[in-house]
Structure 1
Amino acid sequence: MRYSPLITDLYELTMLAGYLDQGMHERPAVFDLFFRHNPFRGGYAVFAGLDTALSYLEGLSFSGEELGYLESLNIFKPTFLSYLSDFRFNGSITAPAEGTVVFGGEPLLTVEGGLAEAQFVETALLNIINFQTLTATKAARIKLAAGDATVLEFGLRRAQGPDGGLSNARAAYIGGVRSTSNVLAGMRYGIPVRGTHAHSWIMAFPDELTAFRCYAKEFPDSCILLIDTYDTLQSGLPNALTVARELKEQGHDLVGVRIDSGDLAYLSRKVRAAFDEAGFPQVKIVASNELDENVIESMRREGSRIDIYGVGTRLATCAGEGGGALGGVYKLVLIDGEPKLKLTSDVAKATLPDRKKVLRAVAPDGSFILDLIALQDEEIHPGTVVFDPANPVQHVRIPENARLIDVRRKVMEDGKRCLSTPDLGSCADLAAEQLQRLPDGCLRLVNPHIYKVSISSGVNTLRLQLMTRIQSKYRS
């Protein structure tokens, strides 16, 4: 799939034109892509979107039609348009594996290359990584809330356009929601597709029982009946039981029933009891209707008997407190070998300069202790003192018994992938495994434990030096 280079903000092009005119376009530069705060006021995020981002970078080029449109804007010189005709991304990318658990303040992607190419890709990379990481995180929260139950993604009709629906299904799979109603996502990404029928199917027939029987006849081995069109307990349930008996006589089994309205926890208990009593314990109960992690957790506390949660709108739109957007940013950290710093009055929002690595301290039992952002060539070992980036006066030591692992690796060199692309199942397995290694409390939906992300002495010292230099130059 080709991603047009015009999926960008205009200012990326005007800066690119300016860099070319000023002879700055080939200056070696390094940018970091990161977010400052964990989404949904949660304790973590699940990194996603890397494969999509690398596909965009590998295919980056301007077509004749796209160049013609830019020429029609009458703001760019012919020399710039000629330059764009041969424009490619030839830089390098360092990133975590998709499915890695990540945290606010940590560099996710580090982009290195000429200033022009590294700057231009900002908007597209933010668009891809922000949305897919946010969605994967939302999906992980929903799946964790659902426990052993299955979660089905079916938010295509509420997603932000067709591409948003595809990205949502892909990222949700990484986060742990391993089936979708989106047929194109099933074809493109190999995600299992699932579905039932709508209320309109029931209403199109003379009565509910006839509708159920016709659907069961069409799909005798994959039949799930929607039982809340008229009255869940007085009509839908007894009619579904009738069809279950008829299917059994024909050598088939009713797979399940779906409830899409009302008190889902209460109704699921009544429906479960009825099917169990009738000798159909295998029939699954599917629930839908504006579900998210908080609703699911609440229903489980009430003793619901739901086997499958169909989650649509609130997953596809990443709705919820602290949701809606990840807030990732893209900042210059090095140019011509000189570290760069964006400074604000809030020390916590000052960027971290220079090339960096992200190390994770792992306990002997495999659990995660803390993450550390250090200079690329800085020597770090267990026992090293590390600092709070928001308040450097506070510091701790990496435990002596910890093992340090590099969270990221180089995934693109000279504009080409340098590692094989893992399948989505491997990414989802990685996310599930890493979530279970977080400290106690990090997975709580409300007021989670805050996982510690520290900076090294080298990063802390360099940042303070640059702050002092900038303040002396620009502030009286």
Structure 2
Amino acid sequence: MSDASVTDLYEVTMVHSYLTEGMTGTATFSLFVRGLPADRGFLVAAGTEPALDYLGRLRVDEEDVAAFAAAMGRPASDLRALLGLQFTGEVRAVPEGRLVLAGEPLLEVTAPLPQAQLVETYLLCLLSHQTAVASKAARSVMAAAGRPVIDFSLRRTHGPGAGEQAARLGGLVGFAGTSNVAAAAAYGLRAVGTMAHSYVEAFPDEESAFRAFARAHPGPVTLLVDTYDTANGVRTAARVLRDIGRGPGCAVRLDSGDLGALARTARRILDEEGLPDTGITVSGGLDEYAVEELVRSGAPVDVFAVGTRVGVSADAPYLDSAYKLVAYEGRPVMKLSLAKVTAPGAKQVFRRPGLDDVIGLRDEPVPPGAEPLLETVMKDGRRTGPPRTLAEAHRAFVTDLAGLPARARRL
């Protein structure tokens, strides 16, 4: 069974009807987010590259047809028309890493109607989740004001696949590393890790644990100091680091309590112990709001490790995204449902400095001083160029972020 069966049943019932009726003309669907989540000034486009991978490999096979037929309670022979269906159309999309606003197409698909319909659910799943998480991660980077942010989210994300996506998206917006080993290897990210409280508890005392860890890891180490008493843990860590001749590149990690106050205490102790180059990493329920508060209060934190709240975009865990038919066989179409009106026709977004965007028709001239956001990334079912790298997406993100108006940057 292929990815073709990873879809909502109504996509299959509609496709079957289209094929029965001979409705295979060219259709354009637009994928967009109706409104920004509360307190958000922008979104980061993400998920396009995995979406293109999906479209490029899409093919309905015998097992898919059998699954569709079983779900519909019909013999597989009734659905033979779907066998072999693959994507042969065009995709225009906002490149990953670009900032987008509500109502702007993230992606437009133009293909024979059955193909364009069948891919709706999978595309929405990919782009909605990844744009939500990338946007949350971007806000954490902004809040950190230049200090490194690392991803600790894997254990709390909604499955291993979501954890891998979160690590990748952190890399896209500039995270310094991830705890996810597989994602680090897959995307060329820096793998980072320290120790758990259980490690410290497994030894007779903190000092034994710290010395054992340092013996096993000759490079810089980060010691978790809040298992029992944080101030005493910092003193013990300082003694161990000083005794073994290490300090620069090493750090202590705080994972609970009043992180601002504890970071100040830790900094004072480390300085008194002659370890001014030993850093302080904080973790434990952090998101952009907590990070911003620590930065604003002047807490001497060197690295922020964000996990659950960012990995699941806790305060905005979904986007009100839609994938709507906007044209069929050259005829613009629109939806008039109350509060869900759509704009007809294939579109383009024209951007002027300061995210001064205008949504226009696909083929109208580019206004002076503006650039078109949507690019043709797939034709005839094939990519128009090599996959966009994380480094390229990150550069696009940094450029757009620099031009973001102050009102849209506010957390």
Quick one: percent identity of the two aligned structures? 39
2:372 to 406, 415, 423: 406
Residues 49-448 of structure 1 aligned to structure 2 (within 5 Å): 49-73=47-71, 75-76=73-74, 78-233=76-231, 235-248=232-245, 253=248, 255-320=250-315, 323-346=316-339, 349-362=340-353, 368-382=354-368, 403-445=369-411
Shift of 1:407: 0.8
Task: Please report the TM-score for the alignment, with normalisation by the length of structure 2.
Answer: 0.96
Q: Does 1:15 align with 2:1?
A: no
Measured in 1, the distance between the counterparts of 2:328 and 2:111 equals 10
Measured in 1, the distance between the counterparts of 2:95 and 2:161 equals 22
Shift of 1:187: 1.6
Range that drifts further, 175-184 or 188-197? 175-184
The CA deviation string for residues 376-414 of structure 1, in whole angstroms up to 9 with x for no partner, is 2223534xxxxxxxxxxxxxxxxxxxx111111100001
Q: Residues 247 and 430 of structure 1: is their aligned pair in 2 closer, same or farther, counting only changes over 3 Å?
A: farther
Shift of 1:170: 1.2
- Give the aligned residue type for 1:227: V
Contact 1:358 1:371 in 2 (8 A): yes
Q: Residues 253 and 345 of structure 1: is their aligned pair in 2 closer, same or farther, counting only changes over 3 Å?
A: closer
Shift of 1:253: 4.7
Shift of 1:124: 0.3
What secondary structure sits across from 2:137 in the alignment?
helix
Measured in 1, the distance between the counterparts of 2:227 and 2:19 equals 63
What secondary structure sits across from 2:305 in the alignment?
strand
Shift of 1:131: 0.6
Contact 2:145 2:295 in 1 (8 A): no
Shift of 1:171: 1.6
Measured in 1, the distance between the counterparts of 2:2 and 2:247 equals 46
Measured in 2, the distance between the counterparts of 1:4 and 1:118 equals 15
- Give the aligned residue type for 1:68: A
Contact 1:247 1:253 in 2 (8 A): no
Q: Residues 339 and 173 of structure 1: is their aligned pair in 2 closer, same or farther, counting only changes over 3 Å?
A: same
Range that drifts further, 425-434 or 204-213? 425-434
What secondary structure sits across from 1:372 in the alignment?
strand
What secondary structure sits across from 2:292 in the alignment?
helix
Contact 1:220 1:247 in 2 (8 A): no
The CA deviation string for residues 112-156 of structure 1, in whole angstroms up to 9 with x for no partner, is 000000011000000000011111100000110011211111111
Measured in 1, the distance between the counterparts of 2:31 and 2:176 equals 27
Higher relative contact order (CA 8 A, sep 6+): 2
Measured in 1, the distance between the counterparts of 2:296 and 2:366 equals 45
The CA deviation string for residues 304-357 of structure 1, in whole angstroms up to 9 with x for no partner, is 11111111100111012xx010121000000011100101344xx421111111
Measured in 2, the distance between the counterparts of 1:40 and 1:148 equals 25
Contact 1:344 1:350 in 2 (8 A): yes
- Give the aligned residue type for 1:409: E
Shift of 1:202: 0.3
The CA deviation string for residues 86-119 of structure 1, in whole angstroms up to 9 with x for no partner, is 1101111000111000000001100000000001
- Give the aligned residue type for 2:238: L
- Give the aligned residue type for 1:287: V
Q: Residues 201 and 7 of structure 1: is their aligned pair in 2 closer, same or farther, counting only changes over 3 Å?
A: same
Shift of 1:226: 0.2
Shift of 1:186: 1.0
Contact 1:39 1:45 in 2 (8 A): no
Task: Please report the TM-score for the alignment, with normalisation by the length of structure 1.
Answer: 0.83
Q: Residues 48 and 74 of structure 1: is their aligned pair in 2 closer, same or farther, counting only changes over 3 Å?
A: closer
The CA deviation string for residues 409-445 of structure 1, in whole angstroms up to 9 with x for no partner, is 1000011000222211221121122111112221001
Q: Residues 252 and 266 of structure 1: is their aligned pair in 2 closer, same or farther, counting only changes over 3 Å?
A: closer
Aligned-pair Cα RMSD in Å: 1.7
Measured in 2, the distance between the counterparts of 1:419 and 1:76 equals 41
Shift of 1:375: 1.3
Measured in 2, the distance between the counterparts of 1:404 and 1:77 equals 54
Contact 1:170 1:189 in 2 (8 A): yes
Measured in 1, the distance between the counterparts of 2:280 and 2:7 equals 44
In the alignment, structure 1 segments of 5+ residues that lack a partner are: 363-367, 383-402, 446-476
Measured in 1, the distance between the counterparts of 2:220 and 2:80 equals 57
Measured in 2, the distance between the counterparts of 1:256 and 1:66 equals 52
Measured in 2, the distance between the counterparts of 1:113 and 1:65 equals 24
Shift of 1:77: 5.1
- Give the aligned residue type for 1:408: L
- Give the aligned residue type for 2:275: F
